[in-house]
Structure formats: structure tokens, C-alpha cells
Amino acid sequence: MAPWLIAFLACLLAYFWKCKTSKPKSFPPGPARYPILGSAMSLQNPKTKKPELFYGIRKLQQEYGSIFGFYLGNQSAVAITKFEDIKEILSKSETAHRPPVIGLAAKPGKFTAQEVDPELNKDNPPGIILSNGRYWSEQRRFMLKTLREFGFGKSSMEAGIQEDVKMLIDHLALRAGKPTEIGESLNIAIINSLWSILVGEKLKLNDPKLEMVVKATNDLITSEGPTGLIANLLPHKSMIYWPFFKQVSGYSLIESIMKKLEAFMLPYIENHQNSDSYIDEMLREIAKTTDKTSSFYGERGQFALINNVIDLFMAGVETTSSSLLWSFLYLLHYPECQAKIQEELDRVCGSNRLPNLDDKPSLHYTNAFLQESLRLTCFVPLSVFHFTSEDVTVHGYVIPEKTMVIPSLYHVMHDPDHFPEPGLFKPDRFLDENGHFMANERVIPFGVGRRICLGKSLAEKELFLFFTGILQRFSVLNVPGVTPPPFGIDFPMPGIVRNVPRFQLVLQ
């Protein structure tokens, strides 16, 4: 080989190495960056021998402090771990976007969000969770307005939720006294509450349609899919569609689930009855939209509807149902807490009616228990990632444009300076000297800022009503001779949600 060619290739290699290992000026401190892999080696969990983002962020925080930067493949990322910084940064319009989604073609309507915002949604799917710009603001505004009209998150919706609570209690009574898993029953009951708002019909808890939706939604939540580390480490985004990477990344599973949910939703859209439901309200909005650039226009609007409903299903299972199941696991570990809750329920509510939202201010220990459950569980510990639309400066560091921002809710809710012995379950930390409940602004399981969880208000009300209704009727006991699984945070976490370890209990 000619010397000049060797020199040219050496220069080319050096240039490539410099481009793929350098970081922007004033980028937050963090681990080294390498070609293709980014900082993956610094995220490796020694127990599983695989890169794990949640594990890695906890480790890097100890090394680099409350703000640090790293790379997922070629994608720059910055983790924020202090409450004040998270509140400040996520309140900015420059961080109100979602990052590009690898494998966005899995969602129904694929590129319809891109039609409205060609740049902001170039690699983002339709729906309200992962879209940006005009598309997101139009869909979120309409959804909030419409669901509020149906009582979404308001006390006026209480009667419907209590009907669902009563239905669940009757369903669980059939299994009383026997070891049982109640996770699926909780999921179905929560989905049924949403279903009545979205579609305008109430189903029985053993309806096959509900069971299918719950299974599909759970599979979506527990799978890393195209948002996982494997997908982010691919040199080019289009590689996710190659047969091998479709399988190992989980894309194929996501694609099949989305097709199933789309097929499930279509008959309800095609045969709508002009009823008072979210689906019919949105179909009326689609029918009257003549602006061809709108997210509601024609077929684009129908795909928005399908994706919005899927997103609401995911949010419902991810919040209320998961929180309930974690709370029951804590009851098995701390039976003395259950005794205090039931004494309080008997004193405040009696036994002739279900607990209601008017009882909530008087149920101090119950509120403290639920707050501690949400804090310790931290069911979405890294929130849903944000994305910068331009440079953002914080504490002298620059978070560059098009950088993934990861707010670590875990570090906020497990901060020993504000929650002493954060790994222990201690409801009393939320009670004052008179035994009155004290809410803490640092308990932020639903996130903060412009993209705070849409269903926060409904989830909080459902959690309270389902939890108190069940505890009023049943005692939650350990299966004789069986130790409940640990609830510590140190186990692998696929996807973005902390899954509850499987366990059985006895309802007495």
C-alpha cells in the first residue's frame, strides 16, 4: 500500500475517532464517549453483565454529581438528579419536547405527526406521550378539555369510580380465603374505568375485550422495545427494521401489539353511536376540521384518536394499577400499617358505605401510607425522557440542542437529606406531631413541568378510592408459610417502569 494512502487512512481514522469521542464545549461532566457504543460500558450492571440505564445513572451520580452527561450510541444525554434543577429545567419550553423514537413505524399512522410538524416530529410517532410541537399541543388541549367535560379527574366522576370499586370487590370476594394474584384483576378494573369515559360503555370484569387490552398494554409497558439501550446503540436508526434487530430489540413485539390494538379500536370508530364519550367527541371534531395542516384532519385525526387511546391505556395501567399492587406488597411486609389504616377507616367511614373523596382529609394515616408507597416505589424512576430544542444553560454547564434530558425522579424521592433512611418504608415521615398528614412537594411520581402526566388527577383519585374500598372490605394477608418478595430497587428494570415482583396474597 502506498505511503500516502496509509497516511490518508490514518488521518481519516484519527478524524473519525476525534468526532466520535469528543464532547461539546461546557458539556456536563461524565464518562468517556467511544465510537458506536457511546458511554455504554459505564452503564454496565456487574450482576447482569449488560448495560442498564437505571443502574448506570445511579452509579454515575455518585461519581459525577447531580448533573452529568453521557452518550447512548451517538445520542447525547444529560441526567438531572436534584429536585430544584429538575423543576427549573423542565419548566422551560426548550426542554418540553420528546426525543426521537427509533422504530416509530410500529405505531398506527406512523408518520402522521410528522405531516403537521416536519422537523419537530421527524422521528416521533403520533399520540400525546411522544409527539411534539403543534401536533402535541392541539391533541393535549383537546383531550384535556373533552375529558374535563366528562368529569376526568374531578369529584363528579367519583360515582363511576365507586361503581368500579364495588364491581372489583365483588369479583375479589369470589377468591377470598385462598392464595391468589390480584394484579390482572386490578389492571382490568382500572382499564374499565377509563373505558367507560373513552367509549361510553361499562364492561364486566371478565369481558374478553378488557382482558386483551390489559395483556397488550402490560406487554407494551414491560418491553424495552425501540426505546431500549440496544436500539439506541445502533449506528443507524433504520437498522431497527432489519429482521435480526427487530427481534433482539423488541421491535417486533411492539409492532404486533400495536396492530392488535389498532384492529381492536377500529370497529368502535367505524360504528360510533354519537354518544357522550371521548371517541365520539373527537370524531365530531375530525368531521368538522377543514384545515389540512391540522392534527385532526381526515385520516390523520383518526390515527391520532387511536394513538391517544392507546397512550391513555398505558398511562392508566402504569400509574394506578401499579401503585395499588405495590401498596399491597408493602401491606404484606408491614401488617401493623394495615391495622392502623383499617382502624382509621372504621372510625371515619364506618362499614355501611364505601369511602369517598370527602373522607380523604380525615384519613391522615391512610394518606401518609399512600404517599410513602408512591415515594418508595417510584414506578417510573427516570420519568419519560425530554429533548432540547435549543441550548440550555444550567449551573455553568450547557445542555446542547438535540440532547436527551433524563430527570431522575428516583434521586428526588430517595434523597436522604429530605427523606432519612429512604430505602425504608416509613409512612410516619408524612405525619406531623399531631398525627396530621403533611404532603411533600418532593414526592413527584407523575413528573413535573410542562409534560407532567396527563392522568395525574384521575390516578390519585382512583388510587385512593380503590385502595380504601378494598381495605375496608378485606384484610390483605400473607400466604401461610410464604415470605413476600423483597421490594428493594436493586433488580433489573426492563423498559421505563418498575414492575411489581409477582406475589400471591390472601384476602380475608
Distance separating alpha carbons of residues 316 and 404, to the nearest angstrom: 25
C-alpha dihedral over 497, 52, 502, 264, to 10 degrees?
Answer: 50
Backbone angles phi, psi at 151, to 5 degrees: 90, 15
Residue 11 is inside which H or E element, if any? helix 3-21
All residues at 6 or more sequence positions from 442 whose CB lies less than 8 Å from its CB, including other chains? 83, 412, 413, 415, 418, 419
Closest CA to 275 of 374, 381, 201, 346: 201
C-alpha cell at 176: 377470598
* Integer Cα distance of 168 and 22 in angstroms: 56
Cell numbers found for residue 276: 357522550
Closest-CA residue to 320 (of 241, 437, 214, 426): 214
- Residue 109 CB contacts under 8 Å (≥ 6 apart), including other chains: 125, 126, 299, 300, 302, 303, 304, 306, 307
Cell digits of residue 220:
407494551
11 annotated binding-site participant: no
| Amino acid found at 437 | F
Cα-flanking dihedrals φ and ψ of residue 193, to 5°?
-60, -45
Residue 476 Cα distances to 13, 379, 472, angstroms:
64, 22, 11
Cβ pair 75, 68 in contact under 8 A: no
Distance CA(314)–CA(130), nearest Å, equals 12
- Separation between Cα atoms, residue 459 and residue 465, nearest integer Å: 10
Residue 121 backbone zone (phi > 0: left; psi -120 to 50: alpha; other: beta) = alpha
Instruction: Say how many CA atoms lie within 13 Å of 121 toward its Cβ.
Output: 26
Question: And the C-alpha cell for 336?
Answer: 401493623
Return all residues near 354 (Cβ < 8 A) that are at least 6 apart.
162, 165, 166, 465, 468, 469, 472
Residues 6+ apart with CB under 8 A from 428: 368
CA 84/CA 438 separation, integer angstroms: 20
Residue 473 C-alpha cell reads as: 372490605
State the binding site for heme: 453
State the binding site: 453
